[in-house]
Amino acid sequence: MHSAHGGGSGADGNPARPSRGAGPPTRTPPATPFVRGPFTALDPADLRELGRLGTRRVYAPGEALMIEGEPGTGVAVLLTGCVKVVATTEDGGEALLAVRLPGELVGELAVLDGEPRSASVLAVRTSTAREIDGPAFLDFLADRPTAALAVQRSVTRKLRSATRYRVDAGHGTGLARLARTLHTLLGSYGTPTEDGLLIDIPLSHADLAALARLSPASVERSLRTLRDQGAVRTSYRQLVVRDRTLLSGAAGLPLPVEGGERR
Protein backbone atom coordinates (compact mmCIF):
# COMPACT_ATOMS: atom_id res chain seq x y z
CA MET A 1 0.00 0.00 0.00
CA HIS A 2 1.09 3.52 -0.47
CA SER A 3 -0.01 7.12 -0.31
CA ALA A 4 -0.58 9.21 -3.41
CA HIS A 5 -2.13 12.49 -4.35
CA GLY A 6 -5.55 12.12 -6.02
CA GLY A 7 -7.76 14.59 -7.81
CA GLY A 8 -7.18 16.69 -10.90
CA SER A 9 -7.05 15.62 -14.54
CA GLY A 10 -4.31 14.42 -16.80
CA ALA A 11 -3.28 15.98 -20.08
CA ASP A 12 -5.76 13.74 -21.90
CA GLY A 13 -8.65 15.06 -19.79
CA ASN A 14 -9.08 11.83 -17.83
CA PRO A 15 -8.82 11.82 -14.03
CA ALA A 16 -5.14 11.82 -13.08
CA ARG A 17 -3.91 8.71 -11.34
CA PRO A 18 -2.65 9.45 -7.86
CA SER A 19 1.11 9.91 -7.62
CA ARG A 20 3.21 8.09 -5.09
CA GLY A 21 4.75 9.89 -2.16
CA ALA A 22 3.87 8.78 1.37
CA GLY A 23 5.88 10.09 4.28
CA PRO A 24 7.97 7.67 6.33
CA PRO A 25 6.02 5.20 8.45
CA THR A 26 6.19 5.44 12.23
CA ARG A 27 5.63 2.74 14.81
CA THR A 28 3.19 3.52 17.59
CA PRO A 29 1.86 1.80 20.72
CA PRO A 30 -1.34 -0.26 20.52
CA ALA A 31 -4.51 1.67 19.77
CA THR A 32 -7.28 2.14 22.30
CA PRO A 33 -10.49 0.11 21.81
CA PHE A 34 -12.42 0.99 18.66
CA VAL A 35 -15.92 2.44 18.70
CA ARG A 36 -16.83 1.13 15.23
CA GLY A 37 -15.64 -1.42 12.71
CA PRO A 38 -14.88 -5.13 13.02
CA PHE A 39 -12.56 -4.92 16.02
CA THR A 40 -14.87 -3.32 18.61
CA ALA A 41 -15.32 -6.60 20.53
CA LEU A 42 -11.69 -7.75 20.54
CA ASP A 43 -10.26 -8.57 23.97
CA PRO A 44 -7.29 -6.52 25.23
CA ALA A 45 -4.73 -9.16 24.27
CA ASP A 46 -5.92 -9.29 20.67
CA LEU A 47 -6.07 -5.48 20.51
CA ARG A 48 -2.48 -5.26 21.75
CA GLU A 49 -1.34 -7.75 19.13
CA LEU A 50 -3.21 -5.89 16.38
CA GLY A 51 -1.52 -2.68 17.52
CA ARG A 52 1.90 -4.30 17.13
CA LEU A 53 1.28 -5.18 13.50
CA GLY A 54 2.26 -2.94 10.62
CA THR A 55 3.05 0.75 10.69
CA ARG A 56 1.13 3.96 11.24
CA ARG A 57 0.93 6.42 8.33
CA VAL A 58 -0.53 9.89 7.96
CA TYR A 59 -2.38 10.90 4.78
CA ALA A 60 -3.15 14.41 3.59
CA PRO A 61 -6.54 15.16 1.99
CA GLY A 62 -6.66 13.59 -1.49
CA GLU A 63 -3.87 11.09 -0.87
CA ALA A 64 -4.54 7.45 -1.71
CA LEU A 65 -4.24 4.59 0.73
CA MET A 66 -4.97 2.13 -2.08
CA ILE A 67 -5.40 2.37 -5.85
CA GLU A 68 -7.90 0.49 -7.99
CA GLY A 69 -6.34 -2.27 -10.12
CA GLU A 70 -3.15 -2.62 -8.10
CA PRO A 71 -2.25 -5.79 -6.17
CA GLY A 72 -3.82 -6.18 -2.76
CA THR A 73 -0.67 -6.37 -0.65
CA GLY A 74 -2.18 -5.32 2.67
CA VAL A 75 -5.01 -3.84 4.70
CA ALA A 76 -5.43 -0.61 6.62
CA VAL A 77 -7.23 0.08 9.89
CA LEU A 78 -8.37 3.70 9.96
CA LEU A 79 -7.33 5.43 13.21
CA THR A 80 -8.34 9.06 12.63
CA GLY A 81 -9.93 11.11 9.86
CA CYS A 82 -12.16 9.96 7.04
CA VAL A 83 -11.62 8.15 3.73
CA LYS A 84 -13.80 7.49 0.71
CA VAL A 85 -13.94 4.38 -1.47
CA VAL A 86 -14.19 5.21 -5.18
CA ALA A 87 -14.17 3.24 -8.43
CA THR A 88 -13.73 4.20 -12.07
CA THR A 89 -16.89 4.17 -14.20
CA GLU A 90 -17.12 2.98 -17.81
CA ASP A 91 -16.97 6.56 -19.08
CA GLY A 92 -13.82 7.31 -17.09
CA GLY A 93 -15.58 9.13 -14.27
CA GLU A 94 -15.47 8.39 -10.57
CA ALA A 95 -18.19 6.63 -8.57
CA LEU A 96 -18.30 7.12 -4.80
CA LEU A 97 -19.03 3.71 -3.26
CA ALA A 98 -18.64 4.25 0.48
CA VAL A 99 -17.19 6.39 3.24
CA ARG A 100 -15.13 4.92 6.09
CA LEU A 101 -14.37 6.35 9.54
CA PRO A 102 -11.95 5.49 12.39
CA GLY A 103 -12.05 1.85 13.46
CA GLU A 104 -13.07 0.58 10.05
CA LEU A 105 -11.00 -1.80 7.96
CA VAL A 106 -10.25 -1.22 4.26
CA GLY A 107 -8.50 -3.36 1.67
CA GLU A 108 -9.42 -6.72 3.16
CA LEU A 109 -11.25 -8.10 0.09
CA ALA A 110 -8.14 -8.06 -2.11
CA VAL A 111 -6.07 -9.66 0.65
CA LEU A 112 -8.65 -12.38 1.28
CA ASP A 113 -9.24 -13.34 -2.37
CA GLY A 114 -5.87 -12.42 -3.91
CA GLU A 115 -7.47 -10.32 -6.66
CA PRO A 116 -6.44 -6.75 -7.64
CA ARG A 117 -8.01 -3.83 -5.83
CA SER A 118 -11.60 -3.28 -6.98
CA ALA A 119 -11.60 0.36 -5.85
CA SER A 120 -9.37 3.18 -4.65
CA VAL A 121 -9.36 4.50 -1.08
CA LEU A 122 -8.68 8.25 -0.74
CA ALA A 123 -8.33 10.44 2.34
CA VAL A 124 -11.14 13.01 2.59
CA ARG A 125 -9.35 14.94 5.32
CA THR A 126 -6.05 14.42 7.15
CA SER A 127 -6.20 10.80 8.26
CA THR A 128 -4.05 8.21 9.98
CA ALA A 129 -4.17 4.49 9.38
CA ARG A 130 -2.35 1.40 10.55
CA GLU A 131 -1.11 -0.43 7.45
CA ILE A 132 -0.64 -4.18 7.84
CA ASP A 133 0.95 -6.48 5.25
CA GLY A 134 -1.40 -9.14 3.89
CA PRO A 135 0.52 -12.22 5.16
CA ALA A 136 0.85 -10.74 8.67
CA PHE A 137 -2.86 -9.90 8.73
CA LEU A 138 -3.85 -13.39 7.57
CA ASP A 139 -1.58 -14.94 10.23
CA PHE A 140 -3.23 -12.72 12.85
CA LEU A 141 -6.67 -13.96 11.78
CA ALA A 142 -5.53 -17.59 11.69
CA ASP A 143 -4.26 -17.36 15.27
CA ARG A 144 -7.28 -15.51 16.62
CA PRO A 145 -10.66 -17.04 15.70
CA THR A 146 -12.60 -14.21 17.36
CA ALA A 147 -10.90 -11.63 15.13
CA ALA A 148 -11.36 -13.83 12.05
CA LEU A 149 -15.09 -14.15 12.72
CA ALA A 150 -15.35 -10.39 13.27
CA VAL A 151 -13.72 -9.69 9.90
CA GLN A 152 -15.95 -12.27 8.20
CA ARG A 153 -19.04 -10.60 9.63
CA SER A 154 -17.73 -7.18 8.61
CA VAL A 155 -17.23 -8.32 5.02
CA THR A 156 -20.73 -9.81 4.99
CA ARG A 157 -22.23 -6.54 6.25
CA LYS A 158 -20.41 -4.61 3.55
CA LEU A 159 -21.70 -6.95 0.85
CA ARG A 160 -25.25 -6.69 2.18
CA SER A 161 -24.93 -2.91 2.32
CA ALA A 162 -23.65 -2.81 -1.27
CA THR A 163 -26.62 -4.89 -2.42
CA ARG A 164 -29.06 -2.65 -0.54
CA TYR A 165 -27.37 0.42 -1.98
CA ARG A 166 -27.78 -0.81 -5.56
CA VAL A 167 -31.47 -1.45 -4.93
CA ASP A 168 -32.14 1.83 -3.12
CA ALA A 169 -30.22 4.01 -5.59
CA GLY A 170 -31.63 2.31 -8.65
CA HIS A 171 -35.28 3.35 -8.50
CA GLY A 172 -37.69 5.96 -7.19
CA THR A 173 -37.86 9.73 -7.37
CA GLY A 174 -34.82 11.88 -6.72
CA LEU A 175 -36.23 12.84 -3.33
CA ALA A 176 -36.80 9.21 -2.32
CA ARG A 177 -33.33 8.13 -3.47
CA LEU A 178 -31.59 10.93 -1.59
CA ALA A 179 -33.68 10.29 1.52
CA ARG A 180 -32.80 6.57 1.42
CA THR A 181 -29.12 7.45 1.05
CA LEU A 182 -29.31 9.77 4.06
CA HIS A 183 -31.19 7.12 6.01
CA THR A 184 -28.41 4.59 5.30
CA LEU A 185 -25.69 7.07 6.31
CA LEU A 186 -27.62 7.88 9.46
CA GLY A 187 -27.59 4.23 10.51
CA SER A 188 -23.79 4.07 10.35
CA TYR A 189 -22.66 7.61 11.12
CA GLY A 190 -25.47 9.34 13.00
CA THR A 191 -24.31 11.25 16.10
CA PRO A 192 -26.85 12.75 18.54
CA THR A 193 -26.77 16.55 18.91
CA GLU A 194 -29.13 19.11 20.47
CA ASP A 195 -30.58 19.79 17.02
CA GLY A 196 -31.01 16.18 15.91
CA LEU A 197 -28.79 13.44 14.46
CA LEU A 198 -25.64 14.71 12.76
CA ILE A 199 -24.36 12.61 9.83
CA ASP A 200 -20.79 12.87 11.04
CA ILE A 201 -18.88 12.66 7.76
CA PRO A 202 -17.80 15.60 5.56
CA LEU A 203 -19.87 15.09 2.41
CA SER A 204 -20.26 17.73 -0.29
CA HIS A 205 -23.39 17.92 -2.44
CA ALA A 206 -21.35 16.28 -5.21
CA ASP A 207 -20.54 13.39 -2.85
CA LEU A 208 -24.23 12.98 -1.98
CA ALA A 209 -25.09 13.05 -5.69
CA ALA A 210 -22.57 10.28 -6.35
CA LEU A 211 -23.86 8.13 -3.49
CA ALA A 212 -27.52 8.58 -4.48
CA ARG A 213 -26.75 8.34 -8.21
CA LEU A 214 -28.38 11.70 -8.86
CA SER A 215 -27.32 14.89 -10.54
CA PRO A 216 -26.08 17.70 -8.25
CA ALA A 217 -29.10 19.75 -9.32
CA SER A 218 -31.45 16.98 -8.22
CA VAL A 219 -29.69 16.78 -4.86
CA GLU A 220 -30.08 20.54 -4.41
CA ARG A 221 -33.82 20.35 -5.14
CA SER A 222 -34.34 17.35 -2.88
CA LEU A 223 -32.40 18.89 0.00
CA ARG A 224 -34.47 22.05 -0.34
CA THR A 225 -37.63 19.96 -0.07
CA LEU A 226 -36.34 18.12 2.99
CA ARG A 227 -35.34 21.42 4.61
CA ASP A 228 -38.75 22.94 3.88
CA GLN A 229 -40.42 19.87 5.45
CA GLY A 230 -38.28 20.25 8.57
CA ALA A 231 -36.62 16.88 8.06
CA VAL A 232 -33.02 18.16 7.80
CA ARG A 233 -30.82 21.17 8.42
CA THR A 234 -27.78 21.73 6.22
CA SER A 235 -24.66 23.86 6.35
CA TYR A 236 -21.25 23.60 4.69
CA ARG A 237 -20.48 19.87 4.45
CA GLN A 238 -22.72 19.20 7.43
CA LEU A 239 -26.18 17.68 7.57
CA VAL A 240 -28.38 17.17 10.63
CA VAL A 241 -31.51 15.01 10.48
CA ARG A 242 -34.01 16.90 12.64
CA ASP A 243 -36.97 14.55 12.13
CA ARG A 244 -36.23 10.91 11.34
CA THR A 245 -39.92 10.16 10.82
CA LEU A 246 -40.17 12.76 8.05
CA LEU A 247 -36.97 11.43 6.46
CA SER A 248 -38.30 7.85 6.52
CA GLY A 249 -41.54 9.02 4.95
CA ALA A 250 -39.69 10.78 2.15
CA ALA A 251 -37.63 7.63 1.59
CA GLY A 252 -40.70 5.43 1.42
CA LEU A 253 -39.42 3.36 4.34
CA PRO A 254 -41.21 2.03 7.44
CA LEU A 255 -41.43 4.71 10.12
CA PRO A 256 -39.04 4.51 13.09
CA VAL A 257 -40.03 2.31 16.00
CA GLU A 258 -40.80 4.06 19.27
CA GLY A 259 -41.97 2.31 22.41
CA GLY A 260 -42.03 -1.03 20.62
CA GLU A 261 -44.64 0.04 18.08
CA ARG A 262 -44.17 1.18 14.51
CA ARG A 263 -45.49 4.68 13.96
Domains, the chain, ranges and CATH?
A: 4-167 (2.60.120.10), 172-262 (1.10.10.10)
* Model pLDDT, residue 1: 62
**Over residues 188-199, mean pLDDT:** 90
* Model pLDDT, residue 229: 95
pTM over 0.75: no
Three-state secondary structure of 193-235: ECCEEEECCCCCHHHHHHHHCCCHHHHHHHHHHHHHHCCEEEE
Q: Could you tell me which of 240, 98, 253 has the C-alpha nearest to residue 180?
A: 253
Please give the Cα distance from 235 to 144 (Å, whole number).
44
Contact 190, 239 (CB under 8 A): no
Q: Of the spans 97-106, 136-145, 195-204, which averages the highest pLDDT? A: 136-145
Name the maximum alpha-carbon separation found in the chain: 59
pLDDT digits (tens, 9 = 90+) for 146-178: 999 999 999 998 888 777 666 665 567 899 989
Crossing angle, helix 134-143 and helix 145-168, to 10 degrees?
Answer: 110
